[in-house]
Structure 1
Amino acid sequence: MNTVDGLLDLLVLEKINENEFNGISETVGNPIVFGGQVLAQALNAASRTITNKRVLHSMHAYFLETGNLNLPITYNVSIIRDGGSFSVRRVTAHQKETTIFILSASFHQEEMGYEHQTTMKPGLKQPEDLLSWTEILNQWGDMLPKSLKSFFEIERPIEFKPTIVANPLDKKDLPPFYDVWFKLKGNVKDLDLATKQQILTYISDYNILVSILNPHASKAHWGNTQTASLDHSMWYFRDFDFKDWMLFSIESPNASGARGFARGHIFTRDGKLVASVAQEGLMRPKS
């Protein structure tokens, strides 16, 4: 899966009945199902039960069990409410008899109102001045730790360009921030808003835990730390397109009790705030 077409094939589910859908999985370099995939597939299921043209504005989810890459995932949608302005759906995902994930999503009719937004960090390097994950692999692949090299070698439908590339062999703590540009690969068609939101949600589970690990980089790394997404929330503010680079600007305010918390904002290249994300992740030192 190395283009947006492959990603769309993954995210658009097979319909079993009006409220039940099946999905398959593809690895992103880990032996378990990628959390962003389950988030986006669950939103695909929820949105297909919305018949009143309401737009997704928020979702909140919990990862309950690791997913098996070799088994289909069944998504059951419960219609919780269709009110005067908002519609709410609950999605439960399971493999065989095991519930692996739950999500609540709220959809809102389009309305006019007051507007303001936070701004993008000033002075960040532009994508043309940065190395992508693919270019980092090509230039320094032989010097990367084996696990990191294997992760970079997986073909993906998204190209990422971090604004700062830390040397994994340089054992020093870093600030609790991570800013990364991203862009879809392939021919980006004119996608409807629901599909764009599902793709954005898929992307939002990449990179977010980096900001939590950064302040402990002198002793902690992906090889000696057990990591996993525990929950994930997202709020969607404005329409956008994927034809140019977008920025995911992430910070981690806290880590404690073998858990870390991160939050971030997603901007278009011209500074329009599209969405905000929050996640708590497991950050357990391996003994």
Structure 2
Amino acid sequence: MYPLLKPGDLVFIMPLIGEPHVGEIVAYKPPFLNIYIVHEIINVTPQGYITKGINNQEPDPWIVKRSWIKGFVPEIFGQPIVIPDLGYVISYIRGTNGYIYGIIFLSIIYVISEILDRNNIVMRNRKRRVEIPSSHIAMTFFVLSFFTFIIFFIPHAIYGTIVWNSVLGAPSVPVVLSPNLGAVPPNTYIPVIYNVHVSEHIIPLVVLYTRNPYLSPPNIYVLSNSTKVTFLLNTSSKGLHSITFGLAFIPEFLPPVVLEYLFQINSLLPFIVEGIEVSSVISLIVYLVTKFVENNII
């Protein structure tokens, strides 16, 4: 949609009012893709909607169903409502680096404010004030850090049902991981690929998945950059098949074998345990710093 919508822009999406129409910019999510697409409707057919990016030569290679459309982009004087470049900031914060730097930044701001506040107290003839115990401050940071960790990393997990149809004559080609893998040849193995877009991380990401008899282990267990995670699907006999599958990516704050064990017990356990671990370290640092401030060591 460039130059109307630029990479990194945060786009406002509103719920649909009535039926989509030609010329309207809509946000939709195909069931076979793990991304949202924001394109303009150029035609309406009985089967659905034809969409196209304004800078693309060809329309999108599928008919957009009404159920795919999540909303439309509101416009003012023909211009969509966006916040330039804010998307880059949000994307960075959601990564491991952003989470770590964000917590460090907030901690530094807090320490500076404590020092300045202490100096102001001295300059005001040491007037008495109500002190907040260091343990309370540390506990507040623990709770905030824990929920921040959960909110940032839970969206990196995928859970749901995968369906495929084993049919004679179907092409034996790699498929992209999606809720519907389509038609595949029976009684063979085909690669199932999931593209992982990972910015450079201080801490690598561990790949966790639910074990089942149809999908073999992935080709890689620890990610340090963008790559393809590949499973082998046992297509089984002719007919329709389905499995419940979970896939998650979590920072390597614990050994992968421990995270894998926790994931098999409950898919939320690795996030909870690592959240407690990270939050405990942060709250301990905050506690020590506030103790130093209280004792005028800083």
- Measured against the shorter chain, the TM-score band is under 0.3
The structure that is helix-richer by fraction is 2
Larger Rg: 2
TM-score w.r.t. length of structure 1:
0.23
TM-score w.r.t. length of structure 2:
0.22
